[in-house]
Amino acid sequence: MNYLSKGILKSLLIIGALFFFQDCTLNHEVTHIYLVRHADRDGKPDVLNEAGEKRAQELKELLKDEKLDVIFSSNYNRTKSTAQPLVEELGLSLIIYDAGDLEALVTDVKTNYKGKRILIVGHSNTVPATINAFGVKPALEDIDHDTYNDLFQVLFTNQDDVALIQTTYGD
């Protein structure tokens, strides 16, 4: 599939999700959850490289006007460093979640953050697993090891209607 076709397909998916939620939102609160994998790093170190630092700034610029209520991060330097510019920009506290217990994270979000706008920063395997735990179908697979620019948005209502918007950000 060429770049233009991917762009058209992505636009159609976004439009479809918006029409789906137009009906759902008339009587129900919508929770907006943005999910990203930590920004770029080299090899095994738990630190962002120069491209990762730039991507963290790009994430801040992209989401700073989205009126986020809470930001979650796993307890790794690379995820916390990805979230930190946005945390500082918005004056929020970073909430650490257990990357080994994603069901607890999903339950916490569904129980305590209904109708809120949330960012969750995770990993190539935990971001798709978290999205899947929110009930998105079809299930997503792990993010490619060299991919750092995916931005996912899960929308759900208190009636458990759920939709996924997937796009990219940064260079």
User: What is the total residue count of the chain?
Assistant: 171
> Which residue is it, tokens 């569904």?
110
Backbone angles phi, psi at 9, to 5 degrees: -60, -45
Looking at the 3D structure of the chain, how many domains does it have?
1
Residue 95 has pLDDT above 80, yes or no: yes
| Average pLDDT for 148-153 | 97
CATH number at residue 113: 3.40.50.1240
Strand partners, 98: none
Question: And the tokens for 121?
Answer: 């920063």
User: ∠ CA(131), CA(66), CA(155), 5° rounding?
Assistant: 30
More confident residue, 20 or 58: 58
Per DSSP, 39 falls in state: -
Q: How far is CA 67 from CA 31, 91, 98, 109, in A?
A: 12, 12, 25, 16
What is the C-alpha to C-alpha distance for residues 81 and 101, in angstroms, rounded to an integer?
21
Q: Residue 62 burial by CB count (10 A; 0-12/13-18/19+): exposed, middle or buried?
A: middle
Structure confidence at residue 7 (pLDDT): 52
Supply the range of the domain harboring residue 15.
3-168
| Average pLDDT for 14-22 | 50
Q: In the predicted model, what is the mean pLDDT of the chain?
A: 87
Residue pair 120/72 in contact (Cβ under 8 Å)? The answer is yes
pTM exceeding the 0.95 threshold for the entire prediction: no
Residue pair 166/40 in contact (Cβ under 8 Å)? The answer is no
Helices vs. strands in the chain: H and E counts, helices first: 5, 6
